[in-house]
Amino acid sequence: MGVSAKDILSGDIQAAARLMRDLDDEIPSAHRTLKTLYRHTGRAYLLGITGAPGSGKSTLVDCLTGHLRQEGKTVGIVAIDPTSPFSGGAILGDRIRMQKHTLDDGVFIRSLATRGHLGGLSKSTLDIVNVMDAMGKDVVIIETVGVGQDEVEIVKVVHTNLVLVVPGLGDDIQALKAGILEIADIFVVNKYDREGADRTKQELETMVSMNTYGEGEWVPPVMATVAQTGTGVHELLAEVARHWKFVSREENLKRYRTEKAKVELMEILKKKLIEKAVDDLSRSGVLDLLLRDIARKHLDPYSVADKVVDHKFAFHLRKESGKGKANRKNRP
Amino acid sequence: MARARAKERSEGRRRKGDRKVRVLVGKPGLDGHDRGAKIIARALRDAGFEVIYTGLHQTPEMIVNAAVQEDVDAIGLSILSGAHNYLFPKVVELLKGKKMGNVVVFGGGIIPDGDIPGLRKKGVDRIFTPGTSLSEIVEYVNKRIRARA
């Protein structure tokens, strides 16, 4: 038992909330439901927002959501905060800045804790985004933890990724080090009413201009906003729309979908393979023996790992993927 | 259905460790004193819970809507304005209206002893008054939620 796919597709909010919980807690039946739902995903426009803690991500999400609602679009928001590595607990406080939308049925906000996952997302983020997508949300906004660096994961799963920068957080070298150039589709200099904002914007623009872009490649614009007052958000949304149009070009969309499929599959595989390997080894009682031998240097972990994964993984899948093709052809 | 759920949950727990307890901490009404609520939020985090902190000036409707979307096990409310006799029961009532009557509602603040029995009768599970130790509250949430799950 558990939540059925039908409940989600019919727009049952409580069922959706429960399914998200089950996915976060890795309840097996939840994954079964997701298998059915997956077919119904891919319609939502996914917008990522990353940036250092305190750069105004939640406030901007709140502001963007207001605009999107005015356009009549429904919005799902996945807001991620870090889990304490010591207690396993978390304080999820992104809702504080999104009060305006708490009573709006067209907005569904879900707070997630990273639960030990690195890279700015939580390990269930993609699952939860899929549920919101299947619920029929027009736009799903993913607000990352805000570690700033190394948030590469998100770029591959969203259509458009905004990188928030605020004035006064170090020079352009810091930005280069953080590797944010590679992950931004659009830069947003938020808190633009602060001192030094012009310079931050210029530095980013210079950084972008020093990069070489091929023909037909997207050049990230640098926008200026004050999320608190809403200044510049209209212009930002225009750029988001422009990028959305760019991503929607057939060749780009195809690449995006393949890239996303890859991330999805790899994430699930990583989880499942480790689980299965550890499960099999410990159930047969081999794990402890292996660990003991490695500790005594009778074995080395490299050879053991090689042996554990020595399978022909793809062997029985060839037929399966062929089937998928045939199905596609039959579809009207 | 409930039993199947419980079984499923214990299955989940056995396989992947505990189901994470989620608690919403919020401040309904108009008073702006959130120090207490923040300290409770932190204590609950340190006890390993996921705490959804919704902040100040919440209406009961906002709190319950958030609780639905976040699928929490419990709601902890802090009220120092004197409006507890209205706000607490309202939250409980709205939860029941959404068929979420199994969400545990507890609270704290400046609440006269004489008001507590009435609140309990209206479905507020527990009221903590000034001077309560953090460990007492953590232990309460732990016991109460685990017993329910």
**Tens digit of pLDDT for each residue in A278-291?**
999 999 999 999 99
Is B41 part of any domain? yes
The reported pLDDT for the residue numbered A313 is: 75
3-class DSSP assignment, residue B125: coil
Please answer yes or no on whether A92 and B66 come within 8 Å at the CB atom: no
Is B4 part of any domain? no
Number of domains chain B contains: 1
Burial class (CB in 10 A: 0-12, 13-18, 19+), A331: exposed
The reported pLDDT for the residue numbered A193 is: 94
d(CA A27, CA A12): 19
If we measure between CA atoms, which residue out of A46, A74, A68 comes closest to residue A234? Answer: A68
Is B68 part of any domain? yes
**Tens digit of pLDDT for each residue in B10-29?**
333 334 446 899 999 999 98
**Tens digit of pLDDT for each residue in A69-78?**
999 999 999 9
Q: Which residue of A has its CA nearest to B24?
A: A92
Residue B82 structural domain = 19-148
Which candidate from A18, A89, A95 shows the least CB-CB separation from B46? A89
Is B107 part of any domain? yes
A contacts of B11 (beta carbons < 8 Å): 27-28
CB B11 within 8 Å of CB A1: no
* Domain containing residue B25: CATH number: 3.40.50.280
Confidence bin at B33 (pLDDT 50/70/90): confident
Best A12, A75, A91 member to test B by mutation, with max B CBs in 10 Å, is A91
The full set of domains in chain A, from first to last, is 41-248 (3.40.50.300), 255-330 (no CATH)
Is B11 part of any domain? no
pTM of the model: 0.88
Task: Report which residue type is found at A208.
Answer: V
Which candidate from B8, B53, B66 shows the least CB-CB separation from A91? B53
**Residues A227-240, mean pLDDT to the nearest whole number:** 95
Q: Which residues contact A129 (CB under 8 A, 6 or more apart)?
A: A44, A46, A76, A78, A140, A142, A157
Average pLDDT, chain A: 88
Is B113 part of any domain? yes
Is B23 part of any domain? yes
Is B78 part of any domain? yes
Token pair in block for residue A75: 């919005």
**Residues A35-44, mean pLDDT to the nearest whole number:** 94
For A67-102, b where at least 16 C-beta lie within 10 A, e where not — what string?
A: bbbeeeebbbbbbbbbbeeeebbbbbbbbbbbbebb
**Tens digit of pLDDT for each residue in A109-147?**
999 998 877 767 777 899 999 999 999 999 999 998 876
Strand ranges (E), B110-148: 126-128
**Tens digit of pLDDT for each residue in A297-328?**
999 999 999 988 887 777 677 766 665 554 55
If we measure between CA atoms, which residue out of B37, B74, B85, B42 comes closest to residue B57? Answer: B37
